[in-house]
Amino acid sequence: MKVIENHEFEKLINSGKVIEEDLRGPKIVLLAEDRYLKIFYHKSTFSMTTLQSRAKQFANHAVKLKKRGITTAGILDVFRTKDPRRDCVCYHGIPGNTLRDVLSQRPQDKLLSRQLGRYIAQLHNAGVMFSSLHIGNIIQLADGSMGLIDIADMRINIFTLYSRQRKRNFQHIFRYQQDRECIHLEEFEAGYLEDIATSKHAFYQSAIRSAQPTI
């Protein structure tokens, strides 16, 4: 991975607008020309992230998602600083609004809820296990289609997700009370089941209806 000096990193940060940060520093910076810089900080103690670059994982996920026909970030560059170590990925964002924002204006929208169900089925059928999946990480594009952001925390399998993995992922999707209240559950369910074998319908209906908010 390319290494840049700290003064180059600081110059890059100062040239943009910090839109998310924590006690360690900026996490997402909006740069010129609709570019975003996402920064991953390393823990001081040993962990798997000391061996694996989450910035590289982010970039690899973007490539794999696009090969599966799923709209996501367009990767421009991956690099890191040396001391302290920060792994960075620069990418083009997806133009549009989060589904959370759209549904907050159109709560219980039947057509949009059904489309969301279809989209989640598409992800599951493509082998995408996204542990951070919720409607705040799904973008509605200008043409009405959907795309994914914040794609660091996922696994992309060669095969479609197993039933138990899908059930677990429904819990992720509905873990926020405000999200569940905005989604028309029956229409979401109908959209999800459109291309699912009839023999699986009862299991997935139960899995969707039993997913309860925890936040």
Measure the CA–CA gap between 207 and 114, rounded to whole angstroms: 17
Q: Are residues 206 and 159 located together in one domain of the fold? A: yes
pLDDT for 45 equals 52
Residue range 55-95, pLDDT digits in tens: 999 999 999 999 999 999 999 999 999 888 899 999 999 99
Q: Are residues 65 and 149 located together in one domain of the fold? A: no
Q: Are residues 71 and 107 located together in one domain of the fold? A: no
Beta-strand pair 86-92/74-81: antiparallel
Contact status, residue 164 vs residue 94, Cβ threshold 8 Å: no
Structure tokens at 86: 């920060």
- Domain endpoint, select from 71, 92, 113: 92
Does 215 fall in a domain? no
Calculate ∠ Cα 115-192-124, nearest 5°.
105
Structure tokens at 78: 């991956």
Q: Are residues 137 and 186 located together in one domain of the fold? A: yes
Q: Residues 6 or more apart from 8 whose CB is under 8 A from it?
A: none
Does 42 fall in a domain? yes
Tell me which residues of the chain have a pLDDT lower than 70. Answer: 44-52
Q: Are residues 66 and 113 located together in one domain of the fold? A: no
Domain holding 121, by residue range, is 97-210
Q: Are residues 101 and 145 located together in one domain of the fold? A: yes
Does 120 fall in a domain? yes
Q: Residues 6 or more apart from 116 whose CB is under 8 A from it?
A: 99, 135, 138, 146, 183, 188, 191
Residues facing residue 35 across a β-bridge: 31, 92
Q: Are residues 103 and 196 located together in one domain of the fold? A: yes
Q: Are residues 88 and 102 located together in one domain of the fold? A: no
Q: Are residues 102 and 206 located together in one domain of the fold? A: yes
- Domain endpoint, select from 51, 69, 92: 92
Q: Are residues 85 and 170 located together in one domain of the fold? A: no
CATH number at residue 174: 1.10.510.10
Q: Are residues 60 and 7 located together in one domain of the fold? A: yes
- What is the distance of C-alpha 53 from the center of its chain? 17
Contact status, residue 169 vs residue 133, Cβ threshold 8 Å: yes
- Domain endpoint, select from 92, 121, 152: 92
Q: Are residues 155 and 65 located together in one domain of the fold? A: no
Measure the CA–CA gap between 44 and 46, rounded to whole angstroms: 7
Measure the CA–CA gap between 198 and 56, rounded to whole angstroms: 39
